[in-house]
Amino acid sequence: MHTVMIVGAGQAGLQLALGLQARGYGVTVMTDRTADEVRRGRVTSTQLLHPTALALERAEGLDLWGAEVPPVEMVDCAVAGPAAGAGGPPTVISRWTGRLGGVARSLDQRVKLSAWLELFESRGGSVLRHAATAEDLDWAAARYDLTVCSTGSRTLAPLFPRDPARSVHTRPQRAFAAAYVHGLGESGPPRVRSTALPGLGELMVIPAYTHSGPCHILLAEAVPGGPLDVFRDPAARPGEVLAVLCELMRRHVPADHVEGLGRAVLTDPGAVLVGHRTPVVRRPVAVLPSGRPVLGLGDAVATNDPLAFQGGNCAAKAAAHYLEAIVGRADDQPFDETFLRGVFESWWARTGRAATAWSNAVLDLAAAPHLVRLLTAAAVRPGLADLFCRTADDPALAERLLLDPAAAERLLAELRPDPFAGARISAPSVAPLPPRPSLPSPSPPPQPGREPAVAVRG
């Protein structure tokens, strides 16, 4: 059977490695960290895997935690009006609850990926602990039938040039900060609680699971330069990050969206994440100086802001798609450049295009006023609220029904208002907006192409 080198040990890389290993392939993983280093390190993501991605993991026997991880089936969304950034109280103009159509779960990737790496090794897989360079890829491509690069590291990114036809942005669209915490309350079943502030950013509370059990993730997604953009130092002290996150939540979020905020404590010293990233799609095949091709996967070739929850979900779907394509290649058929490009293009057509289009759209609601209208209308149209929630699992729904203004108008006409849902528009009062908080001694915001080396998978 074919031999495969996978560079990178994230969601996509390890899922593919374990899938190939289970089918008898000789697989080697190259990664710069041991399982214990991953487990003890800082959080790397704010993932929320939806039903399709979770089913793909289960099919490979990789759901090692089962019911321990809080099941998320609903999203509570509040939309605040433009006054939110003008110094007055952020008026909540719409509130609704939508159903995901299945169970989603957020598992700290330090827990998942360290266990997956140990599982791979326990099954006889070979792991090279090394920070890969372009020369290493050339070395691997000469010795393995197929080399897959699944890491978006700065060192290897130049091998996969930006695709301008598929990349809308040239700089970060959000400054993000996240903290995993214990102590928050939860009235009713676990659910994501999201407050959208068009033009300013978003604040979320996500039920999750970490080393010490069930927890919540506090997530701020700030439009760069706006009132929420107060996290500019990736090395900020964890306690400071938590304090400012909590203050933002108090000022901007309905009280029942974040219960027990005064009791919030970090789950561990590495439980915070601060950074920026530029959404980008890259050329999928790197042709090395030797002429040998390397296939890009996951963050190596397609990265989205975590706002639309496409990072981890896209990674899981891409790994499953690549697995199917590789297994379907006969032993006497080479993994040439034409075949590798075809693998990516078929994934792009099936998943990547819609996921990228939807992620880009929600990052810039000001450019899509019809989406703001739809978000507001969801308060009295439960079917529309459910549709918004299901786009994370199936972004093709958004591409087909929400992105085009004409299609959105037809959808509004078809989904009749529910008079009993109107009460959702009435929201609890939110405290007025005091002067913007800040972290001590922030570093300058990153320039295009000079972002902090932080991996975030939505």
Residue 296's nearest CA partner among 315, 275, 324 is: 315
What end-to-end distance do the CA atoms of the chain give, in Å? 34
Pairing state between β 3-7 and 26-31: parallel
pLDDT tops 80 at residue 450: no
Query: Are both 77 and 26 inside the same structural domain?
Result: no
355, 394 contact by CB (below 8 A)? no
Could you please report the per-residue DSSP string of 195-255?
EEETTTEEEEEEEEEETTEEEEEEEEEE-TTSTT-----TT--HHHHHHHHHHHHHHHS-G
Distance, CA of 222 to CA of 15 (rounded, Å): 31
Query: Are both 344 and 384 inside the same structural domain?
Result: no
Query: Are both 311 and 332 inside the same structural domain?
Result: yes
DSSP 180: E
317-331, 396-410, 439-453, range with the lowest pLDDT: 439-453
Within-domain flag for 451:
no
Within-domain flag for 444:
no
Q: Which CATH number goes with the domain that contains 289?
A: 3.50.50.60
For residue range 135-186, what is the model confidence (pLDDT) as tens digits? 999 999 999 999 999 999 999 999 999 999 999 999 999 999 999 999 998 8
34-43, 300-309, 342-351, 446-455, range with the lowest pLDDT: 446-455
Distance, CA of 399 to CA of 84 (rounded, Å): 29
Within-domain flag for 255:
yes
> What does the pLDDT read at residue 255?
82
Boundary of a domain, candidates 235, 256, 277? 277
Distance, CA of 318 to CA of 297 (rounded, Å): 7
SS3 385: helix
Question: Taking the mean position of all CA atoms in its chain, how far away is CA 108?
Answer: 12
Hey, what's the torsion of the CAs at 158, 162, 163, 165, to 10 degrees?
A: -160
Sequence length of the chain is 458
Query: Are both 309 and 211 inside the same structural domain?
Result: no
Distance, CA of 369 to CA of 400 (rounded, Å): 17
Q: Which CATH number goes with the domain that contains 264?
A: 3.30.9.40
Q: 161, exposed or middle or buried, with CB in 10 Å at 0-12, 13-18, 19+?
A: exposed
> What does the pLDDT read at residue 446?
41
- Residue 393 domain boundaries: 368-415
Pairing state between β 92-104 and 126-129: unpaired
Boundary of a domain, candidates 226, 252, 277? 277
298, 315 contact by CB (below 8 A)? yes
398, 231 contact by CB (below 8 A)? no
Could you please report the per-residue DSSP string of 20-35?
HHHTT-EEEEEESS-H
Query: Are both 270 and 294 inside the same structural domain?
Result: no
Query: Are both 220 and 343 inside the same structural domain?
Result: no
pLDDT tops 80 at residue 212: yes
CA distances from 332 to 1, 178, 276 (A): 9, 48, 44
Tokens of 49: 């895997």
Within-domain flag for 424:
no
Query: Are both 61 and 75 inside the same structural domain?
Result: no
pLDDT band at 93, cuts 50/70/90? confident
Distance, CA of 168 to CA of 188 (rounded, Å): 40
pLDDT tops 60 at residue 426: no
Query: Are both 394 and 347 inside the same structural domain?
Result: no
Q: How many domains does the chain have?
A: 3
Boundary of a domain, candidates 277, 299, 321? 277
pTM: 0.90
> What does the pLDDT read at residue 333?
96
Query: Are both 222 and 330 inside the same structural domain?
Result: no
Compute the average pLDDT of residues 45-60. 97
What is the gyration radius of the CA atoms in the chain, in angstroms?
22
Neighbours of 453 (CB within 10 A): 10
Within-domain flag for 387:
yes
What average pLDDT does the chain have? 89
118-122, 314-318, 370-374, range with the lowest pLDDT: 370-374
CA distances from 133 to 33, 34, 446 (A): 15, 18, 24
Residue 23's nearest CA partner among 315, 340, 324 is: 324
- With a CB cutoff of 8 Å and minimum separation 6, the contacts of 139 are none
> What does the pLDDT read at residue 417?
84
Within-domain flag for 88:
yes
Q: What are phi and psi of 303, to 5 degrees?
A: -125, 135
Query: Are both 308 and 361 inside the same structural domain?
Result: yes
Within-domain flag for 426:
no
> What does the pLDDT read at residue 425?
36
- With a CB cutoff of 8 Å and minimum separation 6, the contacts of 435 are none
> What does the pLDDT read at residue 236?
85
For residue range 231-273, what is the model confidence (pLDDT) as tens digits? 878 778 999 999 999 999 988 888 888 889 999 999 999 999 9
pLDDT tops 60 at residue 456: no
CA distances from 383 to 17, 409, 417, 418, 427 (A): 39, 15, 9, 9, 20
Query: Are both 241 and 380 inside the same structural domain?
Result: no
Within-domain flag for 453:
no
Query: Are both 353 and 379 inside the same structural domain?
Result: no
